[in-house]
Structure 1
């Protein structure tokens, strides 16, 4: 599995119990198991939910699924 696929999978997994839609960055962080400190790691790449949240814009909300979050984040992070 590539780094991109692994990070994507971890983001989807972290949001498995989240209720959608998510309407704000604050709601997204609250949905993460350890809030802003939730970490995804693959190979030598590590990113926290707080860092990843900086890649989202107000236009990204509402978010309808964990896959949408993961797709957007891995694309914008350039993984």
Structure 2
């Protein structure tokens, strides 16, 4: 599994219980189990939801599902 696939899967899993659509960055962060401190790890890479959220813009919202969130974050992060 690649780092990209690993992080993508962890984001999707972290948002498993989230209610969509998610309309704001605040709603997105609160949807993660530990909020902004939720951490995805793959090898030596570790990224928190708070750090990943900085890659998003207001134009990215609303998100319709967890896959869309994960797709956007891994793409912007260059993974």
Q: CA deviation at 1:74?
A: 0.3
- What are the ranges of 5 or more consecutive residues in structure 1 without an aligned counterpart? none
Report the RMSD for the aligned CA atoms in angstroms: 0.3
The TM-score normalised by the length of structure 1 is: 0.99
The TM-score normalised by the length of structure 2 is: 0.99
- In the other structure, the counterpart of 2:45 is 45
Find out whether 1:2 has 2:6 as its counterpart: no
- In the other structure, the counterpart of 1:21 is 21
Q: Distance in 1 between matches of 2:69 and 2:45?
A: 18
Q: Distance in 1 between matches of 2:46 and 2:76?
A: 15
Count of paired positions: 79
Which aligned runs of 4 or more in structure 1 are off by greater than 4 angstroms? none
